[in-house]
Structure 1
Amino acid sequence: MTESSPLAVALIATAVFLLAGLIKGVVGLGLPTVAMALLALVMHPAQAAALLIAPSLVTNLLQLRPLATIGPLARRLAPMQAGVVLGSLGGAMWLGGTMGPGAVAALGGVLMVYAAWGLLGVRVTLSGRTERWLGSVVGVITGLVTAATGVFVVPAVPYLQALDLSKDELVQAMGISFTVSTAALGVALFAQGLYSTSAVASSMLMLLPAVAGMAVGRWVRALLSPAMFKALFFLGLGLLGLYMATKS
């Protein structure tokens, strides 16, 4: 981390959220990780985390669009999301804090293996019968992992990818899961007295670049073929895992 002027920090933060929003718009994930990685170069991690609150929540909500198709998908994913809430709240009360960098590094390794598996063309599709009971289990585990590490992509994303959704349905499904996970984690942190609102104004200012970047990313995604989207999706997961493993 280097010392920079307030104006330089503001400009860098704006550029970072533009980039992070663009990535999220294209592949449906990665905004918190990309933003934290780059913002940590110019500010304390705690300040970076505070800036993420509003952009992360709002871009997750925007990822729920189009609302006309969300009903059937939300009903299909309801058992998983109920598990996410249960696991997040229960995990927060049980663990009382994060498990440290070792847990995040391990999750990063899992993501890299899964990304390599996907790039090699290995495909897993769940039957409706398996989906009915596995969704709740995946949700609870995802909630526990979220409470322990603040990372809510494992095993939620591999599970959602195995549902054989279209590229837009997959992005929307991740939006549903990430929104529920973020809200549940926020409630858990608030209940523990760990959620501060002192930086809400600064966080709100970062909404504009994050949303603008996401809009550009959505436009780019519309131009991609399903095969190209799949390649970028797994590449994004792999890079996310690499960052988590090496940074931690």
Structure 2
Amino acid sequence: MFEEPPFPFAAIAATFFAAGIVKGVTGMGLPTMAMGILGALISPLAAASLLLVPSFVTNVWQLLAGPGFSPLLRRLGPMMLAVVAGTLAGSSWLAGGDARFTTAALGCALVVYAGYTLLARQLRIPARWERWLSPAVGAATGLVAGGTGVFVIPAVPYLQALGLEKDELIQALGLSFTVSTIALAAGLGAHGSLRLDNLALSAFAVLPALGGMWAGQVLRGRIGPVAFRRGFLACLLALGAEMALRQVF
């Protein structure tokens, strides 16, 4: 699946260490950062395969550290079911091997996410809208995740708009990312696009990701999270734009 010459271990370690730092400082961004860097170097399908194990481990950690799993699951259950359905449907695009299309789609997803997060005002979703809006957002998130390997659009802005407490929001993000990761693995596996050697490399990436998270947590007290987050999003926007435009020109 990887291009020749083989993708070096050092580049994988550096990518996931950097992505772990982002997650350690901001509480999110590891899958998006990793897909952004790796997607610019190798095919999005290969990048998504590398992402699976470190994303699963770090997001389960984030999910289990929250205050109340059962109430959150009851509230967001319909959204999570729709995420699974959308991801399974969308994974055929990523597994199809059309690197030009998936790279452009990944770049557009990064631009939309970074641009929205940098410029948009915080929304508030009325509770009465959740019953019908949650499944729609979940399905859209799943389609984007299945096609690009990026789990954040539109799930992250939607969850941020529900008025959850800080710890609840972090746990909700962990739940959404965990479900998306499992569904993506299932979708790629169903299309025969997962290989044991890729999963071994993905498992290898867990250690630098956790090391980066630890370093990010240390840096959190020394670097303003808001300034760091803005810089990260600006870099992500530029990277996404380059990936999308590369496929046009």
Structure-1-length-normalised TM-score? 0.78
1:245 to 219, 238, 241: 241
Q: How does 1:24-173 map to 2 (within 5 A)?
A: 24-38=23-37, 49-92=48-91, 97=96, 100-101=101-102, 102-118=104-120, 122-173=121-172
1:176 aligns with 2:175: yes
Q: Where in structure 2 are there 5+ consecutive unaligned residues?
A: 245-249
Q: 1:11: how far off?
A: 4.4
Contact 1:51 1:206 in 2 (8 A): yes
Q: What CA deviation, in whole Å up to 9, does each residue of 1:28-65 have, x standing for no partner?
A: 33223433555679888776555433212211211213
Separation in 1, partners of 2:144, 2:41 = 28
Q: Where in structure 1 are there 5+ consecutive unaligned residues?
A: none
Q: 1:173: how far off?
A: 1.4
Q: Give the superposed CA RMSD.
A: 3.5
Contact 1:104 1:245 in 2 (8 A): no
- The 1:76/1:25 distance shift into structure 2, 3 A limit, reads farther
Q: How does 1:208-223 map to 2 (within 5 A)?
A: 208-218=207-217
Contact 1:91 1:143 in 2 (8 A): yes
2:24 partner SS: helix
- The 1:29/1:98 distance shift into structure 2, 3 A limit, reads farther
Separation in 2, partners of 1:40, 1:94 = 15
Q: Which residue of 1 aligns with 2:200?
A: 201
Separation in 1, partners of 2:51, 2:95 = 22
Separation in 2, partners of 1:147, 1:13 = 22
Q: Which residue of 2 aligns with 1:190?
A: 189
Q: Which residue of 1 aligns with 2:17?
A: 18
Separation in 1, partners of 2:73, 2:216 = 23
Q: What CA deviation, in whole Å up to 9, does each residue of 1:118-158 have, x standing for no partner?
A: 4xxx2311111012221111001111112222222111111
Q: 1:237: how far off?
A: 4.4
Separation in 2, partners of 1:223, 1:69 = 30
- The 1:42/1:81 distance shift into structure 2, 3 A limit, reads closer
Separation in 2, partners of 1:142, 1:41 = 22
Contact 2:31 2:151 in 1 (8 A): no
How many residue pairs get aligned? The number is 239
- The 1:223/1:159 distance shift into structure 2, 3 A limit, reads farther
Deviates more, 1:42-51 or 1:183-192: 42-51
Q: 1:79: how far off?
A: 1.4
Separation in 1, partners of 2:42, 2:154 = 31
Contact 2:21 2:213 in 1 (8 A): yes
Identity level (%): 43
Deviates more, 1:185-194 or 1:238-247: 238-247
